[in-house]
Structure 1
C-alpha cells in the first residue's frame, strides 16, 4: 500500500509536548492540550500576538432522512458568535437560520480547550451546549436535543504550521450514530437513525484566512477535505471503521453561483465526487476592523472514494453534507 495511505499513528497525549514542540502531522484519536502559550522557539509567539491571532470554533452537522441541521460556536478572541440552521430535506424549506454575536468568556461563550471538551454559548435568548456526547440548543427559532453515540472509527487529529500565522490544530470525527429531535415553528423532526459529525478547530491564524471545504458522512463512509490556509492537513476519508489520510483536494465550482454543482477530487485518485446543492446559508459582514464572506451550500455527494490508489472504489450515492467558501479578516 502507498505509504501516504497507511493507518494513521495514535494522537499524542498533548499536542504541545513537554519540550514545547508541537506534534505536527495527522493522527487518529482525540485532540488534547492546545496550550499554545507553551510553544517553544521557533513556534513561540508573544502574548499579545497570540491574543490577536487565536481562533477557535466548534461545529456540528446533523443529518437524517427528514432534516439537515448545522450549529457552530466561534471565538475570534475579541468577540464570539454562533449560528444555526435547520433544513427540511423533504420539501426543501429552510426552517430556521440565525446567528448571534456575543462576548468571549463567561459573558457569552466558552469554547472548549481541545477536542475532548464542551463549548457553550448563551446570549439574547440563545443557549447552545455542544460536546462529544451531544448537542442542546434553545432559541426563539429553533430547538435541538441530540445525542451522539460513541464513535466506531477514530477521529482525525491534524496539526500544522499556517503561513502568516502559527500552529493550528483540528479534530474531525467520522459519522456518529444520532438520536434526538429538532423542533421548528412548523414541525418536530426525529433525528433517530441519522448521523452527526463534529469539527473542533483551535489555532493561531493569519489576519486574513480563506478556504474551501467539503464534508459528508454516514455511518459507513465519510470524508473531510479542505483547500486553503491549512493545505491537505485535514483531508481524510472514513471507511469501514478506519480513518485514512487524503492528498490535496481540488474544488471545481462556480464561485459566483455556488448553488451550481461542485466537483471535488483529491490528487491521489482516492476521492472523486459531485456535490449537488439544494440550499445555502450565506453571510457577509463588514465590521471595519474585521470582515467575512461566507457561503455554506448543503446538499448531497455522489461519486466514489477508496482508501488507497490501488484499492477498489466504493460508490457513494446521495451522501448528505456541505461545502463551504469562506474568507475572514479577523
Structure 2
C-alpha cells in the first residue's frame, strides 16, 4: 500500500483536520484552527495540548536518547547514555522545567527547532540545510554534540482521533546517518557511522494516556510500532527507501518483569520480532496533579519483516532499539 503525500497543513482552511497516514512531513498542525466537532476552547487546549521531540542515537558502542516534553502547563526533559558493550547505564538524567512554557519550546512541526533550558540543563534540536539536524545537550551527567540526516526514506505522518482527548499527530523518521560524540564521566564515545531517528508528536490528548511502543532502525530498514491511545495509526516499516503502513501491533511481555524477552507482531503478518532487553531507563512519579509510570528497555530485535503480506521475509538480526511501557496522568 502506497501512502498519499503528506498535507502541508494538518488542519485545512475550513477547520477540518486531514486524518490518516501519509508519506512525508507536514509544516503545521494548527489545532487552534479546528472547527465543528473537533473544536476545543483555548483553556481546554492549554491543559490537553502535549508535544514532545525524542531523538535516538545509536552507534556500535553506545545508545543514547534525548527527549523534550511540553505538557502545556509545565515541561520536562530526559536523557540517557547506555554502553552496549558492558550493558551499563552510564548516565540517566531528567529535569522538570518552570511553569508554563518558560523552559521549553517544542517546534510546531518536525522540521522546526526545539529547546529546553534551565540553570543546569540546555538542550537544542536545530534544523540544518539539506534535511539535516543538530542536537546539542549539556547537563550535569553528560554532554552530546551530534549531527544527523538527511532521512534515507520519507517520514511517516500519522493523524487521528484519540479517546478522551481530541486529535493527535505524529511524525516518525527512518534511520539517518549520524556523526558526533557523547561524553560521560567515564569516557568520550564517537557516534560517527551510527544511526539516528526521531519521534515528533503533537496532540490534544486525554488526561490519562497509556501506550506500548517499539522502535528500531538501521540505514537499510526500520520500524515504529505502538499499541495504546493511538491504536495502530503510527505503525510503519521503512524498507527499500519507502515507508510502508502496518496493521495493529500486539506486545506480549511480562509487565511485572519487562527485562524478559518481548514478542511483538502485527495483524497483517508483515512483522514478527523478539526483543531482548540489555538494560532500561525507569521512572515512577506520583505528584498531586500528575503521575507517570515508565520503563524503556534498550536492547536488540531479531525476527523478520516484509513489505507486503505475501512478500519475501527479510531477516532482522541484532537490530538495536527500544521498547516502552508508559502510563501518564497529565
After TM superposition, the score normalised by the length of structure 1 is: 0.97
Does residue 98 of structure 2 align to residue 103 of structure 1?
yes
Q: Deviations over 1:143-162 (max 9, x none)?
A: 00110121120000000000
Determine helix, strand or coil for the equivalent of 2:38.
coil
How many residues are paired up?
A: 325
Aligned residue number for residue 192 of structure 2: 192
Q: Deviations over 1:34-66 (max 9, x none)?
A: 111100111111111111110011000000001
Determine helix, strand or coil for the equivalent of 1:42.
helix
Determine helix, strand or coil for the equivalent of 2:213.
strand
Q: Deviations over 1:95-145 (max 9, x none)?
A: 100100002666211111111211101113110001441211011210001
Aligned residue number for residue 57 of structure 2: 62
Aligned residue number for residue 249 of structure 1: 249
Distance 2:154 2:100 in 1: 30
1:31 and 1:170 in contact (8 A); partners too: no
Determine helix, strand or coil for the equivalent of 1:90.
coil
Determine helix, strand or coil for the equivalent of 2:310.
coil
Distance 2:241 2:98 in 1: 39
Does residue 3 of structure 2 align to residue 17 of structure 1?
no
Does residue 264 of structure 2 align to residue 269 of structure 1?
no
Aligned residue number for residue 168 of structure 2: 168
Does residue 2 of structure 2 align to residue 7 of structure 1?
yes
After TM superposition, the score normalised by the length of structure 2 is: 0.97
Determine helix, strand or coil for the equivalent of 1:59.
strand
Among 24, 31, 35, the alignment partner of 1:36 is 31
Aligned residue number for residue 146 of structure 2: 146
Aligned residue number for residue 203 of structure 1: 203
Q: Would the alpha carbon gap of residues 318 and 104 (structure 1) be closer, same or farther in structure 2, given more than 3 Å must change?
A: farther
- Gaps of at least 5 residues in structure 2 are 128-132
Determine helix, strand or coil for the equivalent of 1:186.
coil
Distance 1:263 1:106 in 2: 39
Distance 2:124 2:99 in 1: 15
Determine helix, strand or coil for the equivalent of 1:107.
coil
Shift of 1:10: 0.6
1:104 and 1:110 in contact (8 A); partners too: no
Aligned residue number for residue 259 of structure 2: 259
Q: CA RMSD in A?
A: 0.9
Distance 1:241 1:105 in 2: 40
Distance 1:149 1:172 in 2: 13
